[in-house]
Amino acid sequence: MIMDACGNVERKKEIQEMPLFDKFSKLLFELGNYNEDEQKVKIEEMHKLIAKMNKKELDCAFSKETFNKINKMIEEDKLSFENTFLFLRQAGHFKELNNFKFYSFDESQLNKRIRKMIVDEEKKKEEVNEKFLVDLCECYLLHKDCYISEKLQNICIPRHLKIALDKEESEKAQKEKETALIALSNIDKHQEINKKLYQNGAIEIIRHHQEHHNLTRLAYQSIWQFYTNRQHKERELEEIIVNEVHFFREASREMEELAKCVDWRKTEKVLEKTKEVQIILKWIQMIKRLTWNARTWKDEFSELICCNVCLSRAARENESEIFEECSSLLLDITRMKNVDVDCLLKKGVIDLFLEEFLQPTLNKGVAYQSLDFFPELFGKLKKKVNNERSNEERETTKLEIYEKMEEDGFEDIIISLGEILSFLGYNNSVYFSTVLE
């Protein structure tokens, strides 16, 4: 009896000391040995392990062999579809929140099985089990990272939009809407989709949320991601995205609200795992994609600039990825032809890039961006305009920027840093002598 107890303690200790991937593999390998209720407990343990894994561990955990193992357990009646959906839904949810890709699913037998089952179930027409079909579509879209056939688009997309359009506001309904929209957001931006399949539904979901706030923050970000991804193929959507449903205003407001939920004093390791930080990153990356395509300067950009300056300062110390992404976005905005230099000055963008040079430790990525920022800024200042008053205002702004940099010694700092980085292979140079020409 004592020996058995000692043996159990040793086994538990051995499992605790295993690498995360080995624990995950052990649970997966043994999953078929348990009954359905026990499997649910084990699947929950697997989800907890997934949440702790880094990118390399996740790539190993979600290999083609993993998906084939799940397919084999289904084939041998060792794993029910209910538990398969439980495992895949949560794993896919985590994958999308953290911007991971599991390309191995596309090559797996499980992918082929689910794809065939979707088509076969839909063929039943009046006898179709809608919940089962939606579950199949959900797991397929959450994990599918390559081309989706037109037939499967026609089956999956309308059903997911219908779920998100449901006016039910219970906690369960909220979760279902979130998962449905996350699944849609995973459809690649290069994927061709008939506009009639999503246009009215997506706009209705966005507008209904703007009026009633019926979606979770991740669900709202996801419907925007799905819809703006389509702009890659449908250029005429820009007018709707910018002027009718006010993307930049909504993005700014969402990021400001999310930022209030983050304790920016925590260490980077803790911060990078928080849901709010991950959603902020998804918004920034989506905005960066949209600003490259935005052809006109809008008032809402002022709100966006203010939001990103504040976010950059909050994230500077303990969230380097958000700090770098915000700085990169502000650099992209500076490069836009219709962005006014005076706005960059008043909204604090210039101060933000100058502040980086006074930090005890430079963020390498932002240092490079800063040295790209100033030639862009000076290039804008050198451009002549037809309006005489505008030229006078431009000269005043130019002097204000130059005096600020000269007064605080930034000119020498930036030139010195530029020379160091040039020695290290960085090609750009900042010539302050040309700014007042």
SS3 content of the chain, % helix, strand, coil (to 5): 75, 0, 25
Stronger pLDDT, 406 or 2, i.e. the higher one: 406
Q: Is the pLDDT of residue 144 over 70?
A: yes
* Confidence label for 423 from pLDDT (cuts 50, 70 and 90): very low
**pLDDT tens string 357-375:** 777 777 778 877 877 888 7
Q: Is the pLDDT of residue 355 over 90?
A: no
Q: Is the pLDDT of residue 3 over 50?
A: no
**pLDDT tens string 100-117:** 877 899 999 999 999 999
Q: So where are the chain's domains?
A: 246-336, 340-437
* Confidence label for 432 from pLDDT (cuts 50, 70 and 90): very low
Q: What's the pLDDT at 433?
A: 44
Question: Which residues are CB-contacts of 62 (< 8 A; sequence separation ≥ 6)?
Answer: 91, 95, 102, 104, 105
Tokens of 297: 């300067």
Rounded to whole angstroms, the Cα distance separating 149 from 156 reads: 11
Question: Which residues are CB-contacts of 360 (< 8 A; sequence separation ≥ 6)?
Answer: none
H-type alpha helices, 123-244: 130-143, 150-165, 171-185, 199-212, 217-229, 237-239
Question: 158 near 199, Cβ under 8 Å?
Answer: no
Q: Is the pLDDT of residue 426 over 70?
A: no
Mean pLDDT, the chain, integer: 84
* Confidence label for 95 from pLDDT (cuts 50, 70 and 90): confident
Stronger pLDDT, 155 or 372, i.e. the higher one: 155
Question: Which residues are CB-contacts of 348 (< 8 A; sequence separation ≥ 6)?
Answer: 306, 309
**pLDDT tens string 157-182:** 999 999 999 988 888 999 999 999 99
